Amino acid sequence: MIATTIIEWDMGHRIPFHKGKCKNIHGHRYKLEINVEGNLIRKVQHSSESMVIDFGDIKEIAHTEIYDACDHAFMFYDKDTDLRNFFNSHKDYKYIIVPFIPTAEEIAAWIYSKLNDRFKDFYKTGLKLHSIVVWETPNNKAIYSRKDFMHAKNK
C-alpha cells in the first residue's frame, strides 16, 4: 500500500543553457508528492496502527529535509558562473548550490536521494520510499521512483 503526503514551497532557479525563456531567472510554486510504500502497521495499540505511516511523520521529515532548505531559496547549478558570482557577493540571500541543472526531473531525483534513507524501514515494517513527484507548474511534473534510483545506483 502507498501513503502520500504533499508539501509546497516557493523557489527560484534557472536553466542556463535552455533554448527558451527558462534560461532567465524565475521561480515556481513547487508541489511535492512523497509516496511511501509498506504494509499496514498491525501492532495493537500502536500510535500508527492500521496505517502505512503516520502522515505527520512524512510531513515532519519533508519539512526538515526539503521545505526548510528550499522555501524562498534560489537553486542553481554549481557550474553557472553568473549566479555563483552573484551569490558569492550576496551571501545574505538564501540559495542552494547543486551539482546538476535544476530541472524538475533533477530536483525530483535529488529529493528522492535526500529522503530515501529517512523512510527506510521507518517502523521496522518494510517501509520504503516508493516515488517522488515534483510539480513545477500545475500542468508539468517529474516522477522519480525507486526503480529510477536503483538503476542510477547500479550505473
Active site residue 130: no
Burial of 45 (0-12, 13-18, 19+ CB in 10 A): exposed
Write the DSSP string, 3-61: EEEEEEEEEEE--TT-SSGGGS-EEEEEEEEEEEE-PPP--TT-TTTT-SS-HHHHHHH
Active site residue 22: yes
Question: DSSP class of residue 65?
Answer: I
Active-site hit among 22, 33, 37, 63: 22
Q: Which helix (H) or strand (E) holds 74?
A: strand 73-77
Active site residue 33: no
Active-site hit among 13, 106, 130, 136: 136
Catalytic positions = 22, 72, 136
